[in-house]
Structure 1
């Protein structure tokens, strides 16, 4: 794609990167075939190619974002299926992130939108606040249908039947390896996951220790910054990321780290991009080092060599989270691990398409999200599974709200298969 940025504009690191990405695009349109919003809406401007044209014009002219451009950028899930499909290697993720930051800096949203985004950014990354909000949402369920805004109704519907109490395992501490220590790893315990489902971190710690890992929950580490990053709130997202970089760097210098293990794939995609996010920052070297240590829990289990035996012959429908299969390009490891444990693993049709969760997308774009959820649940249930497994808490909540089939994290099944407790969700 031909671009017309001035030399002065290209002195800006963000615009320079945007220019590189735009020039890689050859207008082929392959991305439209795998874009969920284009599949639902059928509008070229709701495809990656259409958004690229809108972003190019906005950035080249240097103009503030307008209502039309913002509408189509907001509808993007950041599922990154387009990056998997693109034959030219267009790094759409960095482009859409830059566009969102430009929108946040130049566009004044209606007050309801500003208030909702402010609320989400102040609540979800903080487990204590989020836990209180979920409890409040449960109380609001009787009047949910009368709420005037579909987004408010979606927020109330998001609350699980049971809000778990905080887990002691999520506090900063060191868990020694069971038997001989083979690795020392930091576990990212996340933010929303600590409020929504404490079983995932508990299962991860048990499993890693059983396989010879000393597991560190580092003091000062918290939200990865993804939620605010995808809303264009760069200052807030970088502050969260910087806290993690400093916390894990301190652990690495104090006792060494072989990996930073992440069991929420949406977080993993962001942490693996810390090197890019901080490329012009004084923390650049440390950020790149942490990004290089980051790995999904399935990657570290494959590296160590997992062995287990399924306690029950279950048929597991594996849902590939977009942030894992497209954002991190991790596809085979979770399925291979489940099969090695003795589970029967099946996949739904159109496994590359998003379930509609996408961080806060299901709260900000509830109509599109609901349609994507309906489609994903239908394809999963068509495989007649006993249980659905996924590697991302957002996907688990989204799919679980649309099906009666139990939904668990992949690591919960692997923990169970190697001596851990039966996943709580299976009892329901």
Structure 2
């Protein structure tokens, strides 16, 4: 795609990056074929190709150009950032990088209403601090019966823990990113990962000073606040890296996709660039650890019939489509066929809150596909997808490692677990 940026504009790093991404696009339109919002709305401006043209026009225009309006902002807001288009694109367009630039620029140029600013600020403050989130969640769960129907679906019932086993000391050590909302919404997920890896001779522990990965701030256009969280996490993890931990494990694929991009997002920071690249290299989704191990050591004989929802951040961002299904198959679980498995469920971070109508339609369509094979349970790999799909009150939705852990605790030779 031809661009028309001035030499002065190209001296700005974000314009140079946008120019690079735009020039890789051949505007073929293959991306529209797999875009969830284009399929729902049928509007070129709600597909990747149309949004790319909108962002090109935006970035090439002057600050006083009155053609840049809230309408442009609306079409960019409707994007799920699912990155399905990147998987489809034959030219390798890094659409998500252009989208971050475009959203920041349109917000700077046209602003937001007081209501929108309040919602986004509230989401950032409520979600990124685990203790604050858990306190607000407990309050919501207490008064859930009194909440409007639309709000009840957003407040999950209290989650229980299956009983945490103290990690055994092993020569192999890894860190886990606890996450900001997962400890409140699904506290058993990381516990289950700890127990399963313990059986494999791997000690999993957290760095107490590590916090939110930074994705919520970054994608709500508080990008510098997101970078500050990246730097804080790097500082929290570095002493453990010096001590020889093998990997930084994420059980939420959304966090994993973001941490793997620390190196790119802090590339211009002279103090953190090298460390950020190292952190990104160490970042592993849980399935990347398990698929390399001798799974027979788990003594799991899974017999449940499952449908797997592969999160966009796992299959499109991390390119790990099929990895969880392979591990579950090796462990004996029966997996149903799910049509259009590449499509987004509508969770997409805070999307289900900022775009509730579209998110609900996408969720219901995804559940119809997941339930078509009559699974006993639906499993996934991201807390956002898990919570969003569960909100419909249909088939039970869990993290896949919980199902493995449950089979572990009931498997033959269970004494190996406490050896």
Normalised to the residue count of structure 2, the TM-score between the two structures is 0.92
> Which residue of 68, 71, 90 maps to 2:71?
68
CA displacement, residues 242-301 of structure 1 (integer Å, 9 cap, x when unaligned): 111111122111x11211110100111100000111010120000010001101000011
- Would the aligned equivalents of 1:134 and 1:159 in 2 still touch at CA under 8 Å? yes
- 2:281 is aligned to 292
Deviation at residue 403 of structure 1 after TM alignment: 4.4
Provide the rounded CA distance (Å) in 1 between the counterparts of 2:292 and 2:100.
Answer: 31
Whether 2:175 is the aligned partner of 1:186: answer yes
| Unaligned residue ranges in structure 1 (runs of 5+) | 147-152, 422-428
Whether 2:240 is the aligned partner of 1:251: answer yes
CA displacement, residues 315-344 of structure 1 (integer Å, 9 cap, x when unaligned): 110111000000100012201110111100
SS in 1 for 2:216: helix
- Would the aligned equivalents of 1:206 and 1:420 in 2 still touch at CA under 8 Å? no
- 2:256 is aligned to 268
The 5 A counterparts of 1:89-238 are: 89-139=92-142, 141-142=144-145, 144-145=147-148, 153-154=150-151, 156-162=152-158, 175-177=167-169, 181=171, 183-238=172-227
Provide the rounded CA distance (Å) in 2 between the counterparts of 1:144 and 1:299.
Answer: 40
Provide the rounded CA distance (Å) in 1 between the counterparts of 2:410 and 2:283.
Answer: 25
Whether 2:335 is the aligned partner of 1:339: answer no
> Which residue of 292, 312, 316 maps to 1:303?
292
- Would the aligned equivalents of 1:309 and 1:342 in 2 still touch at CA under 8 Å? no
SS in 1 for 2:230: helix
| Unaligned residue ranges in structure 2 (runs of 5+) | 412-419
CA displacement, residues 118-167 of structure 1 (integer Å, 9 cap, x when unaligned): 10000111112212222333355455448xxxxxx44x4211121559x9
- Would the aligned equivalents of 2:253 and 2:314 in 1 still touch at CA under 8 Å? yes
Whether 2:48 is the aligned partner of 1:44: answer no
CA-atom RMSD, angstroms? 2.1
SS in 2 for 1:419: helix
> Which residue of 397, 408, 411 maps to 1:418?
408
- Would the aligned equivalents of 2:164 and 2:191 in 1 still touch at CA under 8 Å? no
- Would the aligned equivalents of 1:185 and 1:261 in 2 still touch at CA under 8 Å? yes
Provide the rounded CA distance (Å) in 2 between the counterparts of 1:384 and 1:121.
Answer: 37
- 2:417 is aligned to none
Deviation at residue 66 of structure 1 after TM alignment: 2.5
- 1:388 is aligned to 378
SS in 2 for 1:335: helix
CA displacement, residues 335-376 of structure 1 (integer Å, 9 cap, x when unaligned): 111011110012311100000000100000000000001100
Deviation at residue 63 of structure 1 after TM alignment: 3.0
Aligned length: 406
**Distance change in 2, residues 1:168/1:81 (3 Å):** same
Provide the rounded CA distance (Å) in 1 between the counterparts of 2:299 and 2:395.
Answer: 22
- 1:426 is aligned to none
Provide the rounded CA distance (Å) in 2 between the counterparts of 1:200 and 1:388.
Answer: 15
Deviation at residue 206 of structure 1 after TM alignment: 1.0
CA displacement, residues 360-407 of structure 1 (integer Å, 9 cap, x when unaligned): 000000000000011001011111001111000111111112243221
Provide the rounded CA distance (Å) in 2 between the counterparts of 1:47 and 1:395.
Answer: 22
Normalised to the residue count of structure 1, the TM-score between the two structures is 0.90
**Distance change in 2, residues 1:405/1:63 (3 Å):** same
Deviates more, 1:266-275 or 1:399-408: 399-408
